[in-house]
Amino acid sequence: MISRSIMEEARYSLTQFRALCITGPRQSGKTTLSRALFKNKPYINFEDPVTQGAFQEDPEAFLRKFKTGAVLDEVQRVPEIFRHLQVLLDNNRSRGQFILTGSNNFLLQEQVSQSLAGRAGYLTLLPFSYQELKEAQQPVDDLMTNMIKGGYPEIWAEQLNPKKWLDSYIQTYIQRDVRQLRYIQNLAAFNRFVYLSANLAGQILNRDELSRQVGVDTKTIQSWLGLLENSYILFQLQPWYNNLNKRVVKSPKIYFHDSGLLCALLRISSKTGLKNHPMAGAIFENWCIAEIKKNRCNLGDNSGLYYFRENMGNEVDLILEKDTGPLAIEIKSATKPDRSLLRGLQYWKKYQPASQGILLYQGYNPSRETTDLNFVSWQEIDSIQ
């Protein structure tokens, strides 16, 4: 088992809360992590129809069998479990009793906030990060291979063909399971929406244009975006406009949690295909931002990521909120440091003169500092959080 960086934060959370809720995309390793945390407690999987039926027949009797706690996997399948857990946890205030996992963020957040507020902690487990793979001494020196392969654990653990595995993932989980969450009947339009969303990675979202291309109204686009976001397929990076004037852009950008999945949706399966693809730069940007997001989630922080752009076109790809102030990160596919790449960061400094800046690039050279702006190789992305 490749060690998960989130393990320390998960163990700490179990000392602070009566239950711990671990969310994340399907096949990201939630079950493996939960069972490693609770080696001596029962494991219950609500994906099993028999288990679902046993719970629904008599919820109180079902939960009484687990007085010392358990791993309850894919709990969104039985949403009524939360009110029963509330009673159980109110009667026993000891810490670290249950781990709840699920792959639908909206359903879990809604239920946790309504029934388990103050009783359950909340963590997000995403696919393997570059940091985790590097520490496990996996072959991650080739950037293009990293981007095409992505981070889903089964691909790495079993050394599987990423194209075949990811194509199956798209068909099984996106086109079937995710679609069924909202009972989407127009499968052709939904599939078109998913593939068009991949083509928008790294771009400012224009819902009206996407609506026109897909052939559905903007309310449907908004609903489907929420569906993919709550299923951890993609995320929306919101614009930074704190203490700035009204000239800044206020629409989000789209990114995918896993670059391998993004490549699969774009029909990229080889380094040659990636190198020659018109979205190669956007895929590198997506990989970098997703990696930094993973680094933060593994520390229990799923917030504080933004981008900056004003209406004259000046922009910075990523702004990280930190205790020491915002950190501005520009991402370029260049392989060598070049001061001409710093234009966006230099413009940002006019607004935030005390802010630090980093330029992430595709080169293999170690960090190089120029005044208060640093050139950082993609190989050092594990240090950014």
Distances (CA, A) of 261 to 74, 169, 248: 22, 9, 31
Spatial distance between the Cα atoms of 337 and 16, rounded to a whole number of angstroms: 45
Judged against a pLDDT cut of 90, whether residue 311 lies above it is answered with no
**Cα-based angle 370, 373, 376 (whole degrees, multiple of 5):** 90
Judged against a pLDDT cut of 70, whether residue 220 lies above it is answered with yes
Spatial distance between the Cα atoms of 162 and 168, rounded to a whole number of angstroms: 10
The more confident residue out of 256 and 374 is 256
Judged against a pLDDT cut of 60, whether residue 376 lies above it is answered with yes
For 153-176, write each residue's pLDDT tens digit.
999 999 999 999 999 999 888 777
DSSP state of 74: S
Query: What integer pLDDT is reported at residue 242 of this predicted model?
Result: 67
Please give the average per-residue pLDDT across 22-40, as a whole number. Answer: 95
Query: What integer pLDDT is reported at residue 329 of this predicted model?
Result: 96
Looking at the chain, the whole-number percentage of residues with pLDDT higher than 70 is: 94
Rg (CA), the chain: 22
CATH 3.40.50.300 fits 7-124, yes or no: yes
Judged against a pLDDT cut of 80, whether residue 241 lies above it is answered with no
For 245-300, write each residue's pLDDT tens digit.
556 678 999 999 999 999 999 999 999 999 999 999 999 999 999 999 999 999 99
Query: What integer pLDDT is reported at residue 324 of this predicted model?
Result: 87
Please give the average per-residue pLDDT across 201-223, as a whole number. Answer: 95
And the tokens for 81?
Answer: 């479990």
Query: What integer pLDDT is reported at residue 243 of this predicted model?
Result: 57
Spatial distance between the Cα atoms of 327 and 331, rounded to a whole number of angstroms: 13
Query: What integer pLDDT is reported at residue 113 of this predicted model?
Result: 72
Query: For residue 208, what pLDDT band results from cuts at 50, 70 and 90?
Result: very high
Query: What integer pLDDT is reported at residue 148 of this predicted model?
Result: 98
Four-CA torsion 106, 108, 109, 115, nearest 10 degrees = 140
Q: Going edge to edge, which strands form the sheet with 70-73? A: 43-45, 70-73, 98-102, 19-23, 120-124
Structural domain boundaries in the chain: 7-124, 130-383
Spatial distance between the Cα atoms of 224 and 313, rounded to a whole number of angstroms: 29
Query: What integer pLDDT is reported at residue 215 of this predicted model?
Result: 95
Query: What integer pLDDT is reported at residue 350 of this predicted model?
Result: 84
Question: CA nearest 104: which of 143, 62, 75, 147?
Answer: 75
The reported pTM is 0.93
Query: What integer pLDDT is reported at residue 367 of this predicted model?
Result: 62
At residue 178, the 3 state secondary structure works out as helix
Query: For residue 371, what pLDDT band results from cuts at 50, 70 and 90?
Result: low
Please give the average per-residue pLDDT across 17-25, as a whole number. Answer: 95
H helix and E strand count, the chain: 18, 13
Judged against a pLDDT cut of 60, whether residue 344 lies above it is answered with yes
Query: What integer pLDDT is reported at residue 354 of this predicted model?
Result: 79
Judged against a pLDDT cut of 80, whether residue 106 lies above it is answered with no
Residue 12 identity (one-letter amino acid): Y
Distances (CA, A) of 51 to 23, 56, 69, 97, 331: 20, 9, 17, 20, 47
Averaged pLDDT of the chain: 91
Judged against a pLDDT cut of 60, whether residue 18 lies above it is answered with yes
39-48, 99-108, 116-125, 161-170: segment of lowest average pLDDT = 99-108
At residue 323, the 3 state secondary structure works out as coil
